[in-house]
Structure 1
């Protein structure tokens, strides 16, 4: 099953495609969708959703796993990320691709076994699980691969 993992953001949205067969994971591709502050917020959100939709088509993904919003101290940036999440869900929904959201805690737990794992621990486990020579870069791409792995882990547990 081809899964597209997404780590949503306004400046950078990480994406990673993982082929999941049983309990084996094979990385297909990963990267980030970047936007620039010279565009309006609406243009940036539209560009992100559009690019993610194209990636889903290009890689023929069957499911999408996306990190859900996490409210920290910066509420205004969280609102922008929430808008990106909604736009991506809408785009993929129009394509008939199911999307499942996971909290950062759920992703950490699925990938490392510890919901309180630190970022570098999650990234190292992604590297190990996907048999990569080095931790995927940039961070958002590594986080998107973790989201894809989380979906696979949770589907097996269900």
Structure 2
């Protein structure tokens, strides 16, 4: 059995999702969000992301991390902040000894919804169906679970 940590980085909200993979069977372990405090300077918020991912790793003990890659935003400043947030999450995973795999947003959406342009609601719904969830995870947590699912599709454990 392999445990995968999926991460959907964001400077305000970073989603995480943890799944177990055994053969072709996926099992939900946990998901949630790391919400940064907008009242603090950006560097402090990056540290919140780093510490939050560290806590998730310590609690759930994944063996690998999968992170959504930065998409091209229309606002360069937003893209830069997203890149910083992604970097904080990747460094947290690496500091905990995890190998990190990167996936484009298009590839993640294709993995769960079969369509690279799927909307957030479609991703949320399909993640729930694939993992047999009773409720619908938040959009950011669902995106992180989708990243973990995408990784499980790429590697047969």
* TM bracket, shorter-chain basis: over 0.9
Counterpart check, 1:153 vs 2:146: no
Contact 1:6–1:66 (Cα < 8 Å) also in 2: yes
Structure 2-normalised TM-score? 0.94
Distance 1:96 1:42 in 2: 23
1:90 aligns with 2:91: yes
Alignment of 1:17-96 (within 5 A): 17-96=18-97
Q: Is 2:132 aligned against 1:106?
A: no
Question: Contact 1:67–1:147 (CA<8 Å) still a contact in 2?
Answer: yes
Alpha-carbon offset, residue 90 of structure 1: 1.6
Separation in 1, partners of 2:154, 2:30: 22
- Please state whether the residue corresponding to 1:71 is helix, strand or coil: coil
1:27 CA drift (Å): 0.8
Equivalent in the alignment of 1:140: 140
TM-score when scaled to structure 1? 0.93
Mapped partners of 1:118, 1:7: distance in 2: 15
Native 8 Å contact 2:67 2:90 kept in 1: no
Off by >4 Å, runs of 4+ in structure 1: none
Q: Aligned partners of 1:119, 1:37: CA distance in 2, in Å?
A: 24
CA distance in structure 2 between the aligned counterparts of 1:121 and 1:36, rounded to whole angstroms = 29
- Cα deviation for residue 116 of structure 1 reads 2.1
Instruction: Tell me the CA shift for residue 123 of structure 1.
Output: 1.4
Q: Give the aligned length.
A: 156
Which ranges in structure 1 are unaligned for 5 or more consecutive residues?
none
Deviations 1:44-69 (A, max 9, x none): 00110111012112111001111110
Separation in 2, partners of 1:41, 1:98: 26
Stretches of structure 2 that go unaligned for 5 or more consecutive residues are: none
Residue 131 of structure 1 corresponds to 132
Q: Is the 8 A contact 1:110 1:154 kept in 2?
A: no
